[in-house]
Each structure stands twice: as C-alpha cells, then as structure tokens.
Structure 1
C-alpha cells in the first residue's frame, strides 16, 4: 500500500509539471535538445527581446535548426509577462538567464532592455569572460540602462572610455546609428564583399536578401565586413537600387576582449527580422555565423542543412505586432508552429487579464 501511495504521489507531481503538454514545467525555459551532430555537447543560448522585429519568432526557428539538424542544445529565452507567463516583447523581464552560465555561445536579439540585476548579472559575467557572441538587428542597441545602475556601461549611449558606446559598440562593433531605408517600402540586398568571399561564414551563401529596411553602420576598425547592405527601392529581390543610398556594412565579424584578456569571436548583422530568415542565403549566413563564432569553421560547408524544422509562419514585423497570449512551452518540440495562430478572442486574452490585475491594485 505504501509503495502504491508513493507511486501515486509521483505520478500526480509529474502530471502537474507536464500538464501543459510540452514535456517540461510551465515555468521552465524553452530548450531544444539536439542529439548527434557537429554541435553535440555544446550549448547555445538565444535572448529574444526586441519590440519590433519579432526576434521571438526568428530566434526559436534558428535554434531548432541548430538543435535538430546539427546536434546543439539550444535554450531560447524571452521577455515574459510575470503575471500571465505570456511572451511580451520588450518588457525588460527575461527569466532564466542563469542558463547563460553554461553557454558556449550567446545569440542576442534584444532592444533597449534594462533587466533586473539578477537577470543581467549572468549576461555581464559572460561578456566579462569573453564568450563568443552573435548579434542581430537591434542588438546594436540591446540595452538602455540608467547611469546609476551597476550595468550602466552596457547602455547604447554610454560615454565612459572603458566601454564607450556600450555593449553594441564595444562587443558587436556598432551602436545605434539610425535607419537607412524605410521598412516595408525598401528591402535590402546583402552584397558579398569580393575580397572576403572565401570567409567561412559565407560558404554556400548565395543571393542573400532581407525584407527589413537598412540601418546605417560604421563598425569598429577591427571588423571584417563580409556583406554590404544595399537598400532597394521595393520589396522584391529584383527591386532597383535606391539611387540615393550607397551600400554600408550589413554583416561583419570581429573579436572583443573579456576582462581577463581572453578574446571572444563575434558575428554581427543588422538584419534577422522574422521575415528575413525566409531567405535561404541569409538563413545560411546566420547558421554559419553561429558556427564560426564557436570556432567551428572547419565544420562549415556549403552543404550544411539549414532547412526549417517544423512550421515557420512569421508575422510581418511591426511595433506591437507580436502574436498575443503565447507561452514559450507552446513552441516546444520539432513540430509546433512558430508562432501558433490565434483567433481574435485568444489574441486579446492577455490584455483583459493585465487590466483586471492593474485595477485590483489601484
């Protein structure tokens, strides 16, 4: 009888933990666990937290490819509403950053974040040790942190000489410098720099084109520009060049130094919006960039499988245009859609809940 009761308690606990159907507790981070492959034994952590470009869609899609196709363990962290548990892009709250402590690579998809100290500390420690980094789109201005904060030097406008320009300038190679082409009117062709065409990140990359408009950039001097961004006057790959906009760097590699003098490899691109990774050439560049940052350039071939894993139906990026009432565990497994569709009632579910709690507090 005693054994029966113990077993019953264990089953009840398991049912509670896994009742969401995702295979992990509701408050656990989203993890894609690869098996065999070139990435076996390595851990990549993705930080998805921007307001506009839908990193909460693009980064899980890339994580699935690296996990399923190539054997990496990939953890994806999101901005989360602490009351509802829903993904809420741009809200300065990202649970489970302790996962960064075991990361071999950190992939940034952040914008203007100011995390609580306990969430920011693992990221700061990672940069301090000179860990490899991949930075996408708005991560040039990943952090917006008050001067009184102990993490102020990560701010995109930091003026101190020890980290001028903050995380963006000193790690990724550039901070926020301004738009260079109108979103949803002007797409961007990434033109491979001929003298760097043999770089490992560019192996197998053909005709990279992205739907996001341009950013102006002038990367740090030790950056090696792999592709220049040429704004186009239209939203198709064959659109004419925007005559008034010369190309500027759109993807580059560099290294930065941790506080102990160790060097970390960095791949940076000012693209990687939700719709950008539908382009085969750009998606391959992203996967190659992750491998190069990890020091795995010998494993990069033009034949690496970079096909999507499971359904990928990206939102058209916009401020506030994220899919509402979605929890990270709904993206678990290889076959769940990124992102799940919502009817009008489900999509509005988060707003009344938040409003009700706010009124109760008043």
Structure 2
C-alpha cells in the first residue's frame, strides 16, 4: 500500500467516524407561564438529541484579567472544568469558537483567528448582527431581575483598590486590563475558531451548517446576553441557542437591588433567560458527573411548592421568598397546574436537589413520579415546612385518586405529627400567643411575645403526636386551645415545622413573617439571625 493511499484511508476513516459520532443527549431547562400574564412560571425540561457536527460552543469573554478581582477568581475556579467541556466536545465533533472580545490583536497570527477570517461571508446575514442587543421583545414582559447599573463590582473596596494598583504596575488599564483569553482554556489551532465579531461568528455557523449553539463564559447579565454573538442575537435570529448555566458568572454587587447574594444574583439572571430568551443546560451533559458549583456557594436549596386555591400563596410565598431568602438560600418554585388539578409540573425535578421543601398544597393527588419523588425526599430525612392547608395536602378524604396519580392520606401525622380534623367557623376570631412567655426556640427568635389576632379560621389540630413541640397556640372563647405552630421529629430522622397560619393577611404580620423566615433557617440547619430587616426591597425604575 502506498503512503498516499494509506493517508487517504486514514482521512476517510476519520471522517466516517465523525459522521458516526453519537448524538449529544441534551436536557434543556426552560420556563413557561402557569397562565398567561400570571407572572408565575413552571420550570420544565425537555430532552433533545443534537448532532455534534451541527453544534457549536461559543466561549464568551473568558479573559486573562478583569477589573473586578472577584470576577477573576471565580473565572479561574470554573475555567478548568470549562476546558474539560471544550476538550470532550471537540473530540465528539463539536465546533469551538473562542470569543475574547477586544483581544483579536493578540491572535492576529493564530491559525484559529485566520480560519475565522477566511470563512466565506454568510448569504443570510441577519440585520444588526454586528451590534449589541440590549433587549428582545419577550423581555419587555418582565422586570429585569438585578440592578447592575453600578457595573456589578463585588470586590471589597480596599481589595479592589489594591487590585487596580497591581494592574497599573503591570502597565495595564485597570478598567479594561484584558489582552487575551485565559491560558486555562486550550485553543486547538487545527480545529477551533477565534472571533469577536457577530458577522464572522454567524458566517462560521452558516458555513458549517450549525443550528445548535451553546454559550458559556462571562458575564451572563452583560456580554453573554448582549454581545453580537450572544444569546439575544442568536435566539432572535432563529438558532437553537442555550446557556450553559454552570459555566458562567454574573457581574452583580450584593449591595444593589435586590440585595441578595452574588450567587442568587446569577440564579435570577439564569431564571430571566429561561423565561424570556432561551433554555439552559449544564456541563455534566457533556462530561458527566455533577453540575459545577462555586466553592463559596454554600446556599441550601429551598423548593417552595404551591397548589391551593384559597389563600393566594402562589403570590404571597414567592414575594416572601424573593424579599427575604435570597441572601442565604437558593430558591426554586413549583406551582400547581392551572389546567390539571392533580399535577405540579416540574416538582420531581425540583426536589431532586432540594435541601428543604416548603409546602402550601391543598387536597391534591400527584402523578406517580412526583409522589415517589416526594416520598423519597421525606424518607431521606430531609426537612419539610408546611403552612395552612399543607396538613391535608395530599388527602382526598379517602376517595380514590384519579388514574395515574397517588394520594398520601397520612401525610399530616407522618410528616408533621399533626391531627387535622377540620376548622372553626371563619367568622370566629382567634388569638395567637407563644406557648409560654419565657420559652426559647430558634423559630421564636425575634418574635414579639404579645398576643396577636389570627386571620382566617382556627384549625382543629389537637391532640398532636409524640415528638411534637408546640410553639404557638390559638384560642377562641369557649373552645379548647389549639396548637397553631409546632416542630416534629419524624420517625425517618428528619424534622418538620408546621403552622396553620398562612392567610394572605398573615403575610403582612411581622410576627408571622419572622416565624416563617426563622423556620427556613432552622430547617436548613443554619443559625437563625438574631436580627433581620423585614423591609421589602424596592426594584429600580429602570428595567435593564
């Protein structure tokens, strides 16, 4: 066999193996309104199979340096995993486009840059593809989730000043010190592309017949969304674009609205993208293992589940969680279906990674998969919080559940140690007070010890099971005193908290707000704050 023939055979085998490469199994997470104009969203997912040769990963602005020192540290933390993603994807036949904006001078002789420049210009070039895109029409439906008007710097002021001096000492502009992409990411000179131009990137995608595009890099709320090759431009021009949500970061300062942790700020941007721009994926779908998580992101994951029609908790609970839980917790929501009573879309997926579940559900059966996921969560010994109708969340008064669904008739005694058997007349006023003036419990931290009026009917819950500790009681004249709030040590080793409060007006009561807040910290095993500002933060007038 001649050398030329052998070389031809190797090339043929290479291309045939590429054509036979396995599809990429992608799970796209997205959000859709529970009902039109509700402002509430189901978080859902769908599976897609992507051809590697029809897929690209664009690496956005993974610069060597940045004016925010914390941004540099976070980028350096996830860059090794992103490089692993790129290596694996490249081997599978995915096109890799490196887009370190403003750094093309550094790469003017690089083969990957030349390859981008020599790509034929696409015939179907979208209008304004060379421009930043600050908003697409779908985003006008919502309020932008963070205030980034200060640039998103989250450095300590003294550390930031020292960082700026260090950059100056290197002869760099401390406001824009980047000169190239971080060396922690490999650029393959034989296959990859380098470009920061929207028309060039679009031409590369067109030349290679690529419809599926993954965006990774920084910063999600700025460059990843807005660049000419960013999520907005690609989404509005018809590409099947997704954000790799664990291979990114935001420019968000926790000192700005909504005054949440930096990582919650990122979550809020990701949620905004899933609602209005495009779906998201995670790195484990390419390289296996678990999704990436920053080492400093120690937030417990609280899943708030709402499916009841009497007390508007699908509005009051998200408002509560958004106002008070964002500093120390990662929060997800699961809403009951507006069309299928016995369905809470996305529940099983949400609680798979939950550390705490907070329930406000009334008399629902659940699809088998959802109920099995809930039972598994409880059996694992993880904490459960329930308000108001959660004590009869999954009871249909003993009636058979619809086909394909399950009830949990003993949920109240088994999970809350409760004994719900009806309630007093709504017109009867009840007064709530702590079990004893001097009794101490973390959930009572910061609560005024004065008696207050309950809104809504007083539940009949006594006697409670062994293992409960009553914190608040309610009293109606001439009627037995009833437990109103208590903890329960479950037989599976987990602990629960339940309160029969939860009427819409209860959420305006500082005592109820503080108790519910404390219960989340207690359930998650965190120290309950001695003081907590219950003033709700006001969003800025400017959306973006």
> Would you call these one fold, judging by a TM-score over 0.5?
yes
The answer as to whether partners of 2:364 and 2:407 remain within 8 angstroms in 1 is no
The answer as to whether partners of 1:209 and 1:276 remain within 8 angstroms in 2 is no
Q: Give the secondary-structure state (helix, strand or coil) at the position aligned to 2:371.
A: helix
The answer as to whether partners of 2:435 and 2:472 remain within 8 angstroms in 1 is yes
Higher gyration radius (CA): 2
The answer as to whether partners of 1:170 and 1:256 remain within 8 angstroms in 2 is yes
Q: Aligned-pair distance for 1:195?
A: 6.9
Where relative contact order (Cα < 8 A, 6+ residues apart) is larger, the structure is 1
Q: Could you tell me which of 496, 506, 516 is aligned with 1:276? A: 506
Distance 1:171 1:335, change over 3 A: farther
The answer as to whether partners of 2:395 and 2:407 remain within 8 angstroms in 1 is no
Residue 246 in structure 1 maps to residue 467 in structure 2: no
Q: Aligned-pair distance for 1:134?
A: 0.4
Residue 203 in structure 1 maps to residue 431 in structure 2: no
1-side partners of 2:524 and 2:534: how far apart? 17
**Greater shift after overlay, 286-295 or 115-124?**
115-124
1-side partners of 2:518 and 2:481: how far apart? 23
Q: Could you tell me which of 515, 519, 535 is aligned with 1:307? A: 535
Distance 1:168 1:301, change over 3 A: same
The answer as to whether partners of 2:365 and 2:407 remain within 8 angstroms in 1 is no
**Greater shift after overlay, 4-13 or 111-120?**
4-13
Residue 48 in structure 1 maps to residue 246 in structure 2: no
2-side partners of 1:266 and 1:39: how far apart? 25
The answer as to whether partners of 2:388 and 2:499 remain within 8 angstroms in 1 is yes
1-side partners of 2:459 and 2:307: how far apart? 19
Q: Give the secondary-structure state (helix, strand or coil) at the position aligned to 2:536.
A: coil
Distance 1:13 1:131, change over 3 A: farther
2-side partners of 1:252 and 1:39: how far apart? 31
CA offsets, 1:208-249, max 9 Å, x none? 543122001112121100010124xxxxxxxxxxx2223210
1-side partners of 2:351 and 2:366: how far apart? 14
Instruction: Give TM-score, length-normalised by structure 2.
Output: 0.44
The answer as to whether partners of 1:210 and 1:277 remain within 8 angstroms in 2 is no
Tell me what 2:343 maps to.
93
Residue 154 in structure 1 maps to residue 408 in structure 2: yes
Distance 1:168 1:308, change over 3 A: farther
1-side partners of 2:322 and 2:519: how far apart? 16
How many residues get paired? 267
2-side partners of 1:101 and 1:200: how far apart? 27
Q: Aligned-pair distance for 1:23?
A: 3.4
Distance 1:114 1:335, change over 3 A: farther
The answer as to whether partners of 1:141 and 1:175 remain within 8 angstroms in 2 is no
Q: Aligned-pair distance for 1:278?
A: 0.5
Residue 124 in structure 1 maps to residue 375 in structure 2: yes
Tell me what 1:79 maps to.
336
CA offsets, 1:294-333, max 9 Å, x none? 222xx213312333345xxxxxxxxxxxxxxxxxxxxxxx
Q: Aligned-pair distance for 1:25?
A: 2.9
Q: Aligned-pair distance for 1:169?
A: 1.2
Residue 14 in structure 1 maps to residue 235 in structure 2: yes
1-side partners of 2:300 and 2:321: how far apart? 13
1-side partners of 2:389 and 2:380: how far apart? 23
Q: Aligned-pair distance for 1:186?
A: 3.4
CA offsets, 1:60-101, max 9 Å, x none? 122113433x3311111111235xxxxxxx822211111101
Distance 1:56 1:227, change over 3 A: same
2-side partners of 1:186 and 1:39: how far apart? 47
2-side partners of 1:176 and 1:203: how far apart? 26
Tell me what 1:357 maps to.
none
Q: Aligned-pair distance for 1:191?
A: 0.8
2-side partners of 1:171 and 1:196: how far apart? 28
Q: Aligned-pair distance for 1:175?
A: 4.2
Matches within 5 A, 1:1-362: 1=121, 3-5=201-203, 6=205, 11-12=232-233, 14-15=235-236, 22-25=272-275, 40-68=298-326, 70-81=327-338, 91-97=341-347, 98-144=349-395, 154-155=408-409, 166-180=410-424, 182-183=425-426, 185-194=427-436, 197-206=439-448, 207=450, 208-218=452-462, 219-231=464-476, 243-258=477-492, 263-296=493-526, 299-310=527-538
Distance 1:39 1:283, change over 3 A: farther
The answer as to whether partners of 2:362 and 2:392 remain within 8 angstroms in 1 is yes
2-side partners of 1:14 and 1:186: how far apart? 56
Q: Aligned-pair distance for 1:111?
A: 0.6
